[in-house]
Structure 1
Amino acid sequence: MPDQEPLGSLSVRTLLVMSLPALMIGVLSALVLWGLERIAEVLQTGLWETAPDALGIPQDSPWLIVAVLTLTGAAVGLVVRFVPGHGGQDSATTELDSPPPPIRAVPSVALAAVLGLAGGVSLGPENPIIAINCAIAVALCARFVRAVPTNVAVLLASAATIGALFGTPVAAALVLTGTVAAVRGGGSLWDKLFLPVAAAAAGAITMRMLGSPALAFDVPAYTGPNAIDLLSGFAIAAVSAGLGIAAAWALPRVHRLFHSLRNPILFTTLGGLVLGLLGVIGGPLTLFKGLEETGELIAHPEDYSAGQLALFAGIKLIALVVAASAGFRGGRIFPAVFIGVAVGLCAHALFPSVPLGLAIACGGMGIVLLATRDGWIALFLGVALTGDIGLLPILCVIVLPTWLLVTRAPLLEVRAPGSPGAAADS
């Protein structure tokens, strides 16, 4: 990120004055997210329900799954190839805090993201929507609120979008703690978090007012801790993180394979075809970004055998790698959560003595810790998935050895040639 020194030296008066643009960025970021998700939902309904019904095609038809995803790949490829802005930066090479694209690229980023979300691609909205909101915030502040520096506008839009995505400003505060702690200048940590939390709170509240559900599912309360839970919880987190490590190892290699075709129309169409075939094998639950599908797994765990849950995790893992490698625009956190939850439920199905909430939380925490390299967001998602704060003490213990497992593992992203760590991906 650009130098963020101005955030560390703001006075109390300046914080109060800048609260208004922070709140406005929060509301605007949530509205953009909500609008793009609604557009994607309408298009999804047309592709997967209205059109098949009109043609007399069953909605779970293998031919439909393959056709829709292949056509989605071709459509995204056309956007990346021909639309000004070219869909923004390849999502496989970006993180949540990557620099935003120029404002002229925003329509193409939005179009590519909506097509992927509607078409069933196994990526979430987080990377492109953060890029879009940061670009908009930077452009608006440069035009109308010049007192807000570019780097602060980026930080506020990122925080606002994270708050809107997860339905709470806590997620943004945790994700950005490391970023703002590194800012030079005076003031306490919460002086530096003041404006990002304000923006995140505005984003989260706006999304809740618009009817978006919170990220929490109904799971029996955890009644531990028990000594055996430490061992079983770490085992689940380790398996989940291990799957993430496998994906991180494969991602740059599969990315090079697809991009060796050079033409984005070719490699995204091929990627869509592969995703369609994976969807036929794994079924509809392994399609899309994974949030609603995660809720379906948690709501009805008894409907799936251990073998089915293992299949869901494996297919979704491959689909995540393919989707991220083949030029689709999207984030990796939401599908990773689905994989982790499937791992946890599989462990619970094999060993019913493992508490359900603990299995879900540790499964989600392991792979998210690998994907984000952030213990705070991994802990947050582990608790948020179950809605059980009683799990927090034991998760704080389990996250420590899990961190040692992932800290030297490859990142779940593709580094540009010449960047640190790029040689390790070769």
Structure 2
Amino acid sequence: MGRTVDEPAAPPRAGRGIGLLLLAGLVGVPVSAAAFLFLALLHRMTAFVWEDLPGDLGLDPLPWWWPVPWLLAGGLLAGTAISRLPGRGGHVPIDGLSAAPVPPKHLPGVLLAALGALPLGAVLGPEAPLMAVGGATALLLTRRWTPDARSPEAAVVGTAGAAAAVSVIFGSPLVAGVFILEAAAASGAKAVRAVLPCLLAAGVGAIVFTGLGDWTGLPVASLSLPGLDAASLHATDLLWTVPAAAVIALGMREVRALGRRLAPVAERRPMAMALTAVAVTAVCAAAYTLLTGRPPVEVLLSGQDSLAELSADPASLTAWALVAMIACKGLAYAVSLAALRGGPIFPAVFLGAAAGVLLSALPGFGAVPALAAGMAAATAAVMPLPVSAAVLVTLLLGADAAATAPVVIAAVVVATAAGRVLDRPRPAEAAP
């Protein structure tokens, strides 16, 4: 399983620690403003394509063919950014989520690939390009103090910018802080000292981000689960969590395995694979609508809005609709991971939630514990940083966090252990 976060560079000298801490705090203000503008534009484009324009044309419900032209346009824009602009459109999502600073000259390609594909139907989240925007903006603003982009100081400032940008989209700056901390701890004890500027930048970014939202009134929402019923945990919930988490982790592993097999082809022929990915996504969305009668948008996009609807009314989808949704969105997610640009976490959380709702039909498996177990297992399978996965899902559950914490922890442990066992090379493979 690939890394989820590229480890920050070695920490700067201790004498410059205070200066870098102050610089990271100052950087959090403009970086969060840039991130807010990016997310506001992304939200506005998404709403126009999937809500406003169909409503003006009287297309209610949304027909199966509606995603086709938009996805093809998104594939062309993303393919152009990947094949022709510096930086190849940003980090490849099949490799995980990278906090490594992005050079400012790569920013146009990142923006074109993200704004071209994400609002037009790509099954990826905004977290990866958002981190790239934050890191590149931080390096651009602090070029006077960190002229060498390869220095430890520049690496810390860039990573702090990424943390500030992504602090709110996960629902809390705490997730961004734990995310960076766990990745840094995995790279060595010295790198942990570079986490403090990231925590400060994330906190400042969250404050500014919230203030901009209140001031402008723009609906830039974070990943959230409104409308959950009050949860009560029983022994049967914990018993079902173990096999459920293992099955979901195995399913997510197969999705990622398909993406990894397609990634080398996408590396050689980026435009052709980008168009292939959006074509497969369009077919999946159309098939889902024709098979279930439900809107194709449930298979498209990151799943952020659909997750809120699913958690508010899980009984609105039949078992057949859930199976079709998981299969179609899972396939679209796999090809998007290989050929397009965006974040891998949001769709994984949604797929895990859908699998949890489906498994809640098992006797003695409550709806909210099953939802929590599904999200935790899928997130841990895609983001192999178990503490970060557990914190993210726990904060998502809000008032139910305390009641479902044992289920979340058990699902994360099972999914992480299952992934390590499945990825362990066989003796015949390890011998050479």
The TM-score with structure 2 as length reference comes to: 0.83
Task: Name 2:251's counterpart in structure 1.
Answer: 243
Q: CA-to-partner distance for each residue in 1:238-270, whole Å, 9 max, x for gaps?
A: 22211111112211213345556x2x3332122
Q: Which amino acid aligns with 1:137?
A: A
Q: CA deviation at 1:89?
A: 4.5
Q: CA deviation at 1:370?
A: 1.1
Task: Name 2:396's counterpart in structure 1.
Answer: 385
Task: Name 1:281's counterpart in structure 2.
Answer: 287
Q: CA-to-partner distance for each residue in 1:332-385, whole Å, 9 max, x for gaps?
A: 10000010000011111x226322221111101111111111111221232123
Task: Name 1:340's counterpart in structure 2.
Answer: 352
Conserved in 2, the CA contact under 8 Å of 1:240 and 1:364?
A: no
Distance 1:144 1:386, change over 3 A: same
Task: Name 2:11's counterpart in structure 1.
Answer: 5
Conserved in 2, the CA contact under 8 Å of 1:309 and 1:343?
A: yes
Q: Which amino acid aligns with 2:164?
A: A
Distance 1:399 1:50, change over 3 A: closer
Q: CA-to-partner distance for each residue in 1:269-318, whole Å, 9 max, x for gaps?
A: 22212111111123221111111111111111111112211221221111
Q: CA deviation at 1:184?
A: 4.8
Answer yes or no: is 1:151 the counterpart of 2:155.
Answer: yes
Task: Name 1:252's counterpart in structure 2.
Answer: 260
Distance 1:358 1:70, change over 3 A: same
Q: CA-to-partner distance for each residue in 1:81-111, whole Å, 9 max, x for gaps?
A: 34455423434345323x3333112012111
Conserved in 2, the CA contact under 8 Å of 1:166 and 1:204?
A: no
1:101-250 map, 5 Å: 101-144=102-145, 149-181=153-185, 182-185=187-190, 192-211=194-213, 212-217=220-225, 218-224=227-233, 226-250=234-258
Answer yes or no: is 1:48 the counterpart of 2:50.
Answer: yes
Distance 1:375 1:184, change over 3 A: closer
Percent identity of equivalent pairs: 26
Answer yes or no: is 1:353 the counterpart of 2:364.
Answer: yes
Answer yes or no: is 1:266 the counterpart of 2:266.
Answer: no
> 1:57 and 1:83 mapped to 2: Cα distance?
36
* Among candidates 68, 71, 75, match of residue 70 of structure 2: 68
Distance 1:143 1:91, change over 3 A: farther
> 1:84 and 1:180 mapped to 2: Cα distance?
28
RMSD: 2.8
Q: CA-to-partner distance for each residue in 1:210-259, whole Å, 9 max, x for gaps?
A: 334454323223322x3222211222222221111111221121334555
Task: Name 2:80's counterpart in structure 1.
Answer: 78
Conserved in 2, the CA contact under 8 Å of 1:70 and 1:271?
A: no
Q: Which amino acid aligns with 2:158?
A: V
SS in 2 for 1:155: helix
Conserved in 2, the CA contact under 8 Å of 1:285 and 1:293?
A: yes
User: Gapped runs of 5+ residues in structure 1?
Assistant: 412-422
> 1:159 and 1:101 mapped to 2: Cα distance?
13
* Among candidates 418, 424, 428, match of residue 405 of structure 1: 418
User: Gapped runs of 5+ residues in structure 2?
Assistant: 1-6, 214-219, 289-295
The TM-score with structure 1 as length reference comes to: 0.85
Q: Which amino acid aligns with 2:307?
A: T
1:357-376 map, 5 Å: 357-376=368-387
Distance 1:185 1:289, change over 3 A: closer
